[in-house]
Amino acid sequence: MITRSSALLQRPAPETQPLPVQARWQTQLAGAIRDPRELCRRLGLDTAWQDGAARGHALFEVRVPEAYLARIRPGDPSDPLLHQVLPLIEEDHPVAGYVADPLAEAEHTPARGLIHKYAGRVLLIASPACAVNCRYCFRRHFPYAENAPSRAQWEESLDYIREDPTIREAILSGGDPLAASDRQLAWLVERLDAIPHLRRLRIHTRLPVVIPERIDAALLGWLSATRLQKVMVLHINHANEIDEAVIAACRRLSDAGVTLLNQSVLLRGVNDSVEALAALSERLFEAGVLPYYLHVLDPVAGAAHFDVSDDQARELVAGLREVLPGFLMPRLVREIPGEASKTPL
C-alpha cells in the first residue's frame, strides 16, 4: 500500500531545473573525515597541530565532510572555517563557568527528545547526528543516546504537541535534523501537518551549508507538500562558508516557499571583526538569506577559547551598524536559562 509519506517522497521536486549531478549527500556524510590526524594531513598542518587535535577529538570527535574541507585554505592554521572544526588542546582545559549543559535544557524536556523552553513553540530533536562537529557547539555534551529519535519517541512528542493548543510552531533541531532520512522526515512532517493548531514548521540546520547537495528533490518533495509555513534557520558564521553551491541550495529552498534566516555565533578567531561580520551579512543577502541572530558564545565546557567579551561584542555591533543597512543587522543576543526569550545585549 502506498502511504501518504511514501507518496510525498515520490512526488517530483517543484523546480524545473535539473539538480546538479554530484555525490549524494548520504555518501558525503558517510565519507566525512573523522580522524584528526587525517584532517591535519589533508590541510598541510604540522605534527604540533595533530597532537592537539587528537586531544580535543577524544572529548568531541572530529567530523568534516569533503564539501566543507574544500572551502578551507590549506596550510593556514588561522583559516576561519578550519578554526570551527579543528579540535585543539585548549578544549581539555577546564575553565570556571564553562559547563556541560550551559542552557539547562535537561530541565525543559517534558517528553523524550522534545524541549519546551519558550511559549508557543517546541523543539524536537529530529536527529542526533551532524554533518560537521563544530567545536563551540553548546550541545557537544548533549546525551543524544538518551534522546535518539525513533518513531515511538516521536509519537510521544506528537502527543505532547497535540494536547497543547498553545503550541503554534514546531522546530526541528538536533544534532542536525536534516541528517535524518527523507523518509523519516516526511513521516514526521506529515503528522505535524495534521495537528490543526500548528501553523509553522521551523528547521534549524547547518547541512545546506556544509553539504549543499542535501537540498535535493526528495527533501523538496516533503517540504513542498506541507500546509505549514516553512522557515529554515541556517547556521553560518563566516562569508567563506557561502560558495556557489550553497547559493544554489538556498535558491532551491526559496523556490519551495521557505523563508531563509541565519544565526551565527560570535567566535574569537572566526568572525570577531567588523569586516568579517559585514562580509557575512552581505554574502548572506546575496544568497537570499536574512541575518537573524548573532549569539554570544554559550559557556559550554571545551569552548572557552572562542569567547568574545560582552564589551567587545557591543563594540563590534556598533561598528557594524555604521557600515550596514538596518535589514542586514543581526540581533546580538544571549540565551539565559529560565528566560522567556533570548536576551538582547
Could you tell me which of 220, 236, 231, 228 has the C-alpha nearest to residue 270?
Answer: 236
- To ligand SF4, the closest distance from the beta carbon of 134 in angstroms equals 3
- Enter the C-alpha cell of residue 190: 506529515
288: region left, alpha or beta (phi > 0 left; psi from -120 to 50 alpha): left
**Considering the complex, what minimum distance in angstroms separates the CB of residue 208 from ligand SF4?**
11
Quick one: 214 or 235, whose CB is closer to ligand SF4?
235
Contact 8, 194 (CB under 8 A): no
Helix (H, G, I), strand (E, B) or coil at 111: strand
Angle at alpha carbon of residue 302, lines to 297 and 305, rounded to 5° = 60
Closer CB to ligand SF4, residue 105 or residue 176? 176
* Cell numbers linked to 140: 557537544
Closest approach of Cβ 338 to ligand SF4, in Å?
22
For residue 150, the SS3 value is: coil
Could you list the residues that contact ligand SF4 (CB under 6 A)? 130, 132-134, 137, 139, 174-176, 206, 235
Q: Name which of 79 and 176 has its Cβ closer to ligand SF4.
A: 176
b or e along 187-198 (b: 16 or more beta carbons within 10 Å of the residue's beta carbon)? bbbbbbbebeeb
CB of 1 to ligand SF4, least distance (A): 36
- According to DSSP, residue 147 is labeled H
CB under 8 Å to 97, separation ≥6 — which residues?
A: 299
- C-beta closer to ligand SF4: residue 13 or 33: 33
Of 5 and 264, which CB lies nearer to ligand SF4 in the complex structure?
A: 264
| 137 assigned binding-site residue | yes
Q: What is the DSSP letter of 336?
A: -
Q: Is 260 helix (H, G, I), strand (E, B) or coil?
A: strand
Strand-pairing partners, residue 291, are 262
Rounded (10°) CA dihedral 208, 186, 170, 133:
-40
Nearer to ligand SF4, 129 or 274 (CB): 129
- Min dist CB 8 to ligand SF4, Å, is 25
Least distance to ligand SF4, CB of residue 174, Å:
6
Q: How far is CA 246 from CA 71, 139, 181, 254, in A?
A: 11, 25, 20, 12
**Cβ-count burial 322-344 (b if 16+ within 10 Å, e if not):** eebeeebebebbebeeeeeebee
> Which CB atom, from 134 or from 313, has the smaller least distance to ligand SF4?
134
Rounded to a whole number of angstroms, the minimum distance from the CB of residue 323 to ligand SF4 is 27
Minimal distance in Å, beta carbon 137 to ligand SF4?
3
Which run of H or E residues covers position 114? strand 114-118
Nearer to ligand SF4, 174 or 302 (CB): 174
Cell numbers describing residue 207: 547541512
Binding residues for [4Fe-4S] cluster: 130, 134, 137
Q: Which residues are annotated as a binding site?
A: 130, 134, 137
